[in-house]
Structures are given as C-alpha cells and as structure tokens.
Amino acid sequence: MGKEINGKAYADKIYLEIREKTRRLKQKKGKVPHLSVIVAGDDPASKIYVNIKEKRAKENGMDFSLFRFKKDASEKSIIEKIKKINKNKKINGLIVQLPLPKKFNEKKIVNTVSLEKDVDGLHPASIGALLRNEDSFISCTPAGIMELIRSVKKDLSGMKAVIVGRSNIVGKPVSILLLKEHCTITICHSRTRNLKNEIKNADILVAAIGRPEFIKGSWIKKGAIVIDVGINRVEDKSRPKGYRILGDVEYKKAKKNASHITPVPGGVGPMTVAMLLKNTLKAFNQQQ
C-alpha cells in the first residue's frame, strides 16, 4: 500500500517559512511583499480562488490588493490598470485571475503583466526562460507538483515520467520541469493511442486531464509516484453540498500499486497558493 503525499501539510510548512521571512522583512526593512490580483467578470470559482489567495497572503504577513472589473468593462481599461501596476514600486507581484470572460483577449491581457511581477509565470518570456533553463517565475501548480515529487524522491534522474494533459498551465510546464530533472518524459493527450500502456511504464505519473477517476488503479506501475492534479466536481446527493471532489485517478485502487500518491482534495491544490506566495516573496527580493 502506497503512502499519501499530504499537500496540505507540505503547504503549511511553506507558509511557516514565508511568515517568518515576511516578519523579518517588516522588522528590518519596514516593508513586506505586496501581491495584486486583477479579476474581471463574476465567475463563482474565480471568486473562491481569489478569496483564498487574499486570505493566505494576509495571514502570512503580505500586503494584498484586488482590482475588480465588471464583465462589461473595456479591455483597454484593464490593460491601462496593469500598466499602472507595472510601474507601481509598492506592488511586487501581479496576477490576472483566469479564466477571463470570453470577450477579452486573454493572451494580450496576461502578456501586459511585466516580467518582474509575473508571479503566475504565465508571461511568454517566463515560459521561454523555463525552456532555456534560465531563472524565471515557474507557474504555481507545476512548481507545487515538483516540490511534492521532490519531497518523496530527491534524485529523479533516468526515471520515466508520464504526463497526461498538455495544457499551458499544467501539462507542458511540468514536462519541462521533469525533463530538467533528467527524467525521460512522455506527454499524453486526448489523441494518445494507448494511454493505459504508456501509464503502465510510468515511474512518475502526473494526471492533469479534468475527468473524474479516468485513470484506473490497475494501470499504475508498482512503486510509481502518482500526482493527481484533477479537480472534478461530481454530483453526490448524500453530501451536504450535493457534490464531492474527485481527482483524475482512481485513488483507492491506485494507492495499492503506487509508492506515493496525492489525494484530491488535499494534494496538489493547497500547494498552488503556497507557491504563488513563494513567487511573490522572490519578486520582492529581486526588486530590492
């Protein structure tokens, strides 16, 4: 039976370090890192995610500001605001909460965030730097995934890593990060011919598909490290909220074969915000 990788406990450890560092900064320099978030429209999931970011930033001693735009706001007004924040020396990190309402040109808006404040690591130059092994902000979910893998195995050299999903925010950057650790990588997607066979050979599996329990426990190689990124809301009338959250991997069965596995919830999810604050601290230090 494999061990659970407790992402929540790992994230709490990171928060503890961040709190200590912000406390010392306040003492020594009289200032602390400042994170800003731009939100447009009224997506309910975005609201929840932004609230968590605000709560975590504040409880870990950082300054936080939120800039809200209605869904009928102009793209120009958002871009103007980002340019203003880019010039504001008191703000160290800036993210645009995604997804934006469809009418906006998401790429154009995200690309306006200056490279030094791009704590979500989504700017094309941040991604280019990642590809070239140069220092950059690594986007938060992939960075969190790497911390969790390294928490159970330090040397990943030569391991076969299979990443299912090729999104810009998870699958592609995780692949590059695992390649950097000298893994042999296979990236799978909806056109992959025999997903089961690919997964059966994986020493490390990262599942980022968005389909509840799509990856069967019997597909997991004995001793594999399994990172389940999926967050899928599935109707369940027996629960108070009327739903439950499942990952992309059949957790209970996969745990029997895996050496280590992340649960959903409580695995990758809590790491994402912790890495955002870590990036904001890094931005602050670089800007001093």
Query: Contact residues for ligand NAP (CB under 6 A)?
Result: 141, 164-167, 169-171, 188-192, 195, 208-211, 229-232, 268-269, 272
Q: Closest residue (Cβ) to ligand NAP? A: 167
Find the shortest distance in angstroms from Cβ 199 to ligand NAP. Answer: 10
Residue 225 CA to residue 204 CA, distance in Å, equals 5
Q: Does the annotation count 70 as an active-site position?
A: no
**What is 6-35 written as a DSSP string?**
-HHHHHHHHHHHHHHHHHHHHHHHS---EE
**Which is nearer to ligand NAP, 209 or 220 (by Cβ)?**
209
Structure tokens at 115: 């490279």
Report the residue number, 32 or 229, with the smaller CB distance to ligand NAP.
Answer: 229
Amino acid at the residue 53: K
Contact assessment for residue 141 and residue 229, using Cβ atoms and an 8 Å cutoff: yes
Q: Quick one: 87 or 191, whose CB is closer to ligand NAP?
A: 191
Q: How far apart are CA 164 and CA 182, in angstroms?
A: 18
Q: Which position among 21, 117, 118, 120 bears the catalytic label?
A: 120
Residue 248 known to be catalytic = no
Smaller CB separation from ligand NAP, 181 or 248: 248
From 220, 282, 266, 254, select the one nearest 5 (Cα to Cα).
Answer: 266
Distance CA 141, CA 234 (A): 22
Q: Is residue 27 annotated as a catalytic residue, yes or no?
A: no
For residue 201, the minimal CB distance to ligand NAP (Å) is: 16
Catalytic-labelled residue, pool 21, 53, 221, 278: 53
For the bound state, the minimum distance from the C-beta of residue 28 to ligand NAP, rounded and expressed in Å, comes to: 33
Q: Residues near 83 by Cβ (< 8 Å), separated by ≥ 6?
A: 112
Catalytic member of 97, 172, 203, 255: 97
Residue positions annotated with a catalytic role: 53, 97, 120
